[in-house]
Amino acid sequence: MNKKQIAISAAVVVIMGYLYYLPVKGLIKPKEAKPDKTNVMTGNRKAATAVTVDMVSATAKTAIGAALTAKINDLEGQLKNASGTDEQKLQKQLASQWDDVNQPAPAAFYYQALARKENKPEDWLNAGNRFNDAYKLTQDTLLQPAFVTNAVEAFQSALKLKPESLEGKTGLGVAYVNGGAGPMQGIALLLEVVKKDPNNWNANLNLGMFAMKSGQYEKAVGRFKTLIAQKQELEPTFYLAESYKQLGMKKEAIEAYQKCKEMMPDPVFGQRIDEYIKELKN
């Protein structure tokens, strides 16, 4: 599998899986019993220590093919015997290699290792963003709390160094919502970001997705239209189509789905989109 195919596969996984299989706890029925935040975070911390870079790397290698795996195996072999600046150099190379093949989970752990040694805000932000991305791409209930906990640590550490970082606040907001223990705290952070930067891409995208998950499709449409006005991208266009469909706006939904198909020249994805359009036309 080449890098382009990997990128297409990752995009399809995100837009077809994240919305439907990862409900945001605490947003839809806020009057239900509140989770025990202490127990949730304690459990998440235990889960985080159980998940290692070797574990996620082994899984990721099955998705990237033999040639790319061989290159990464070579760097991992060098890392085992490295120390000091050589160790950090190899960790950066491995993080970059995993980024190149759209595998955020192992990349996140290498950025985390760098951040814990050098305590630079950019490394913490890189780690946090990759952990959030890894959360989006997995349905594994062991990995999910580990990714959330590590993301929270990363963004909190970044914000200690750069308190006004919008990227840090956005990432922390997303991690809080994903974690389930503090969804409204997370939404508040995202709203703070868009108040300061109304066109912030990541904050608007996630606010739109979280609005969909709580059934607020009108709000979701506004978020996605804000993004598409800046740049026509697959993810917000797909979610816009879904929001229109839920609102009964069939014509608008079909038009948005058609744009998705044009942006994603993948036969499996295209077939799924055709099914959605056929459904709307009947």
Q: Say if 148 falls within a structural domain.
A: yes
Chain centroid to CA 199: how far?
19
Q: Give the per-residue pLDDT at 182.
A: 77
* 26 and 47 part of one domain: no
Q: Give the per-residue pLDDT at 33.
A: 37
Q: Say if 167 falls within a structural domain.
A: no
Q: Give the per-residue pLDDT at 46.
A: 60
Q: Say if 85 falls within a structural domain.
A: yes
Q: Give the per-residue pLDDT at 199.
A: 95
Q: Give the per-residue pLDDT at 111.
A: 98
* 155 and 62 part of one domain: yes
pTM of this structure: 0.85
Residue 265 CB neighbours (<10 A): 9
* 19 and 46 part of one domain: no
* 70 and 130 part of one domain: yes
**In degrees, to the nearest 5, what angle opens at C-alpha 230 toward C-alphas 227 and 231?**
85
Q: Give the per-residue pLDDT at 185.
A: 93
The tally of CA atoms less than 13 A away on the side-chain side of residue 273 is: 25
Q: Give the per-residue pLDDT at 17.
A: 55
**Each residue's pLDDT tens digit in the chain (282 positions)?**
445 444 545 555 556 554 444 344 444 443 443 444 444 444 455 666 689 999 999 999 998 889 999 999 999 999 999 999 999 999 999 999 999 999 999 999 999 999 999 999 999 999 999 999 999 888 888 899 999 999 999 999 999 999 999 999 999 999 999 986 678 999 999 999 999 999 999 999 999 999 998 899 999 999 999 999 999 999 999 999 999 999 999 999 999 999 999 988 778 888 889 999 999 998
* 133 and 211 part of one domain: no
Chain centroid to CA 92: how far?
21
Domain range for 152: 35-159
Q: Give the per-residue pLDDT at 48.
A: 64
Integer Cα distance of 25 and 17 in angstroms: 16
CATH number where 222 lies: 1.25.40.10
Q: Say if 7 falls within a structural domain.
A: no
